[in-house]
Amino acid sequence: MENQLEIKAGIQIQKTANEVFEAIVDPAKMSNYFISESTGRMEEGKELVWRFPEFDIKVPVRIGKIEKDKYVSYYWGAEGKQTLVEMTLTEKEDNSTVIIVTEKSKKNDEAGINWVKGNTEGWANFLACLKAYVEYGINLRKGAFEFRRGEK
């Protein structure tokens, strides 16, 4: 697609790719840094619903391709306006893992630029919260967005 916007964010986590992967696909673990609940584990082809602690909305999620310890993809958002999220995990020699999150795509217009600004902030936060949880067992998200309660 021409003239499309996408988001890319990354971080290195001092844990193995398997530990990072499980924190992403296991809803019990994910609820410690991202969502408040899920209708199931992320598995290829599944359709899930996620809830977030700050927002009283249900977010439909359609799982795409999964490669254990290496790759997770899913589509989320309203029908017709879904975006693709891809997470690539690369384990390093020191047993740390680099995770790159890409979300795509939106038209390069004012709405698309606002999407990039908001979701880039969101993915940077996701990665910081994931790192804090996986490395130290800390839930950075808890209480962090109470000021946004009621927003959509």
- In the predicted structure, residue 78 carries a pLDDT above the cut 90: no
At residue 152 the predicted structure's pLDDT band, cuts being 50, 70 and 90, is low
Helix (H) or strand (E) holding 107: strand 97-107
- In the predicted structure, residue 2 carries a pLDDT above the cut 90: no
Q: Which tokens belong to 72? A: 């997770």
What predicted TM-score, i.e. pTM, was given to this entire model? 0.91
Backbone angles phi and psi of 23, in degrees to 5? -65, -25
The CATH number of the structural domain formed by 4-147 is 3.30.530.20
Is-contact 91 97, C-beta < 8 A?
yes
| pLDDT, greater one: 78 or 59 | 59
pLDDT at residue number 54: 78
> What average pLDDT does range 59-63 have in this prediction?
95
At residue 93 the predicted structure's pLDDT band, cuts being 50, 70 and 90, is very high
pLDDT at residue number 55: 78
